[in-house]
């Protein structure tokens, strides 16, 4: 069962999420529902719990869903993730299910090291580069109550209406 994706201006998207305890049995259901929600949205490569209305530090990521350069660790769950190492920043276009009508130019690091807990509560460290590194930064931002619009240099020159191909 997929979940409703919350969109701006929903307040759950703007507040920092709470750390989770891996032994919480409800988390496994939430993780399954987050993957189902990501799968429901064809080009979705990552999802943070606040985007589905849960102010919890949980993300799901799958860079393999699109053909972009960079590392590809497949379907991942990270609980209580944090970015411990960052590479060189570069400017790129970014979008978000929670802001469906716009994209924006955002400065993101080309590589990151992310630590957290896997689905079973075991420590996990991931080195990601390219597009996958961007996904991790975007999703961890959601856990900190930040959206890509918070990272654009100018709302006037760096935000663009998304094209509709439908």
- Which residues are catalytic, by number? 139
Contact 55, 15 (CB under 8 A): yes
Q: Would you call the peptide bond into 9 cis, given omega within 30 degrees of 0 as the criterion?
A: yes
**73 secondary structure, DSSP code:** -
3 state SS of 26:
helix
Find all residues with CB under 8 Å of 66, minimum gap 6, and list them. 43, 45, 131
Contact 117, 78 (CB under 8 A): yes
Alpha helix locations (H) across the chain?
A: 26-40, 131-143
Alpha helix locations (H) across 7-94?
A: 26-40
């Amino acid at each position: 069962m997929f979940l409703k994706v919350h969109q701006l201006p929903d307040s759950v998207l703007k507040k920092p999420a709470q750390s989770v305890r891996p032994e919480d049995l409800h988390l496994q259901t939430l993780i399954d529902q987050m993957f189902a929600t990501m799968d429901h949205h064809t080009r979705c490569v990552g999802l943070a719990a606040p985007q589905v209305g849960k102010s919890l530090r949980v993300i799901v990521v799958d860079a393999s869903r699109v053909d972009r350069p960079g590392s590809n660790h497949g379907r991942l769950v990270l609980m209580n993730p944090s970015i411990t190492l960052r590479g060189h920043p570069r400017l790129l276009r970014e979008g978000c299910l929670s802001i469906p009508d716009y994209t924006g130019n955002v400065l993101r690091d080309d590589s990151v090291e992310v630590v957290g807990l896997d689905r079973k509560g075991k420590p996990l460290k991931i080195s990601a580069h390219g597009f996958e590194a961007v996904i991790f930064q975007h999703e961890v931002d959601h856990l900190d109550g930040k959206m890509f619009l918070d990272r654009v240099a100018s709302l006037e020159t760096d935000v663009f209406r998304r094209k509709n191909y439908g």
